[in-house]
Structures are given as C-alpha cells and as structure tokens.
Amino acid sequence: MKRVFSIDFQLYKVTGVEKVMLDIHHAVKDEYEAKIVGNIPYEKVRPEHNIKKREYVQKKSWLMFRNSIVVVHERRLLLVFWLLNHLLFQRIKIVYIHHNIFHNHKHTTILPKTIVAIADSGIENLTNFFGAPKSHIYKIYNCVADEYDGPHDPMHRDNITLLLPGRINAQKQQLKIVRQLSGKLDPRIKILFAGDGPMLEELKTICKDDNSFEVLGFRNDVKELLKKTDYMFLFSEHEGLPITLIEAAMIGMPIICNNVGGNSEICENGKNGWVLTNWDELVVTLNNLPNVSDEEYSIMCKESRRIYKSKFTFEDFKTKYLNLLDGLL
C-alpha cells in the first residue's frame, strides 16, 4: 500500500490549516497507509485535533519520506522536499496545498507539479504571481462534515449577535474591527469574538467598556455557538477559504464578510448574506440588520445550506482527493 504523509509543523496551534490537513488524512486513510507528521512530540500536539497516537509520527529524519506521497501544508517546506528529490533522489511525490494568498518569497518558492488551490483566488495567485502552469493546479474546496440538525432559528431582532471565530491576530483584524465600529453600531447589534492568539489581551482591553463587543476567548464549541447566534461574521485582511464560513453554510446560517480570498465562493452576495468591500459598507449593513424580515432571514438560511451541499461536503472532498492521489501512482 502506498504511503501518504501529511506534514504540518504547527500542530501546537488550532487553525483552519490543521483542520484541512486532518480532513485530507481522514479522506485517504482507508485507501492509503496514511500518517500525520509533525516536528513536536505527540504529547505536545493540541488535543483539539483529535489525532490518535497511532496516526502520528514525529519527524526524526527527512529520509523517512523516500518513495512516498507527501501532502505539504506549509510553503516554507517546499524547498526542503525539492532538495530531497533533486540532490538525494528520494522519489517523493509532492502535493502542495495552497491555503492562502501570498505576495512574497516568489523566487524561493519552488512549486511542485501537483498543487491544490482551495479557491479561485488561489488559482489567480498561483498563476499570476508565482507563474505556476494551470495544468499543475487542481481546485478542491475545503469541506466540513455534515452535522445539520434542522433550520436555524429566526433572528433575535432586539438582540442581534454576530460571531467571529478565529485566532486573535492581525490577519483576522479583530482589533481594527473594534476601532472602526466602536460608537457606530445600533445598540441591538453585538459582535462576539471567539478564539485566542497573540492579540487576545489587547482585544479584551479595548472591548472592556463597549457593549457592542464581547470577547469569549478560546472555545471548542464553535458549532454550538453558531446555533445561538444570528450571523457568521468575518472581515479579514486576507483569507484562503475560511472553514468558519463553510461551517456557517453547513448549518444554514447567513454570513457577513468582506471580499477577500474565497469568501465570495461561500457567501454569495445578496443570497445567503453580504460580501462587502469597505468599512462604511459594513457599518450600513450591520445597522440595517434589525430591518431584515423573518422571511428574508429564512431565505438566506436556506441559501447557505444549498451552497454548502453543492460545494463543500466531505464526500465530494474525499472523492476528489482520492482521484488526485490515485493519479500520482
């Protein structure tokens, strides 16, 4: 049986990248001898990943990958595998997952012949900035398992909540969101921030006396939180294809986001939410939420669910990755 290694050196964190890595592992493990490879002892892997000890291998030597398929989730590792193949003749088949949009290290990024883009914006980035041939790129959307248990409740008109889950950092822009929106929101609107990260304490400080915002800290029950809130919210500096937006679509929940990365492939503007381009549009949209009728809200919920089923199911994801790996043999 062909060996497949999924390599990720950031298993001490909980981000969308790790979620996709695990989804790929679970999609192929019945057909391939699949292992997850990190650079830390198993005991230091975040328990939220639910990685079984028998599935995990700590990297001891780069030569362990000889004559295997390696799914790479970090661009910085591509050069290492290029050197392994071209200097040490390790015969490794590389599958690189292009999780985000990059505009740096162009000349030191050595892309393999098999690249997965998770959104149209990723394909544009790969071809226009890095010069990757389109024939080397396979588009496979991220996914979430279907845990739908019925329609989302009607919006709570006098207490409308938006949930922004994610690491508290510059990319997700939580601090900038507070600074841009503070004092401008209808008092019926509240934004909940779930997650931890390097800017968590600063976020707590600036939200302390502002009733428009609440900092929840790290939560491992995001799907339960989503069921209790009215809208999924994301307004990042840049994105790939956010898992949190796919989770919202899966449970049939409207979305409010900005037009970065693959956001508009999950949230179709005017159908299951709003895709916005600037801060002024965001303020107007948020303050108009109390005017959304129950019928309009219900339609958006149904559209989110439709979009999920048409693009982001685990079954479709699994079929595409197995077909991709089978083509490498």
* Tally of domains in the chain: 2
Mean pLDDT (whole number) for 73-95: 97
In a domain, 79, yes or no: yes
pLDDT band for 54, please (50, 70, 90 cuts). Answer: very high
Residue 135 sits in the same domain as residue 224: no
pLDDT band for 1, please (50, 70, 90 cuts). Answer: low
Domain harbouring 64, CATH code: 3.40.50.2000
Mean pLDDT (whole number) for 191-211: 95
Mean pLDDT (whole number) for 184-197: 96
Instruction: State pLDDT tens for residues 98-115.
Output: 999 999 999 999 999 999
Residue 182 sits in the same domain as residue 287: yes
Q: What is the pTM of this model?
A: 0.90
Residue 164 sits in the same domain as residue 306: yes
Residue 165 sits in the same domain as residue 307: yes
In a domain, 149, yes or no: no
Mean pLDDT (whole number) for 113-120: 97
**What percentage of the chain exceeds 90 in pLDDT?**
92
Residue 127 sits in the same domain as residue 261: no
Residue 319 sits in the same domain as residue 304: no
Residue 200 sits in the same domain as residue 288: yes
Residue-wise burial string across 72-107, b where 16 or more C-beta atoms lie within 10 A, e elsewhere: bbbbebbeebeebbeeeebebbbbbbbbbbbeeeee
Tokens of 110: 């050595």
Please check the confidence at residue 152 and state whether its pLDDT lies above 70. yes
SS (H, E, C) the chain: CCEEEEECCCCCCCCHHHHHHHHHHHHHCCCCEEEEEECCCHHHCCHHHCCCHHHEEECCCHHHHCCCEEEECCHHHHHHHHHHHHHCCCCCEEEEEECCCCCCCHHHCCCCCCEEECCHHHHHHHHHHCCCCHHHEEECCCCECCCCCCCCCCCCCCCEEEEEECCCCCCCCHHHHHHHHCCCCCCCEEEEEECCCCCHHHHHHHHCCCCCEEEEECCCCHHHHHHHCCEEEECCCCCCCCHHHHHHHHCCCCEEEECCCCHHHHCCCCCCEEEECCHHHHHHHHHCHHHCCHHHHHHHHHHHHHHHHHHCEHHHHHHHHHHHHHCCC
Residue 84 sits in the same domain as residue 167: no
Instruction: State pLDDT tens for residues 127-146.
Output: 999 999 999 999 999 999 99
Residue 77 sits in which domain range? 3-143+313-326
Q: Chain-wide mean pLDDT for the chain?
A: 95
User: Which amino acid is located at 108 in the chain?
Assistant: T
Residue 321 sits in the same domain as residue 284: no
In a domain, 151, yes or no: no
Residue 173 sits in the same domain as residue 307: yes
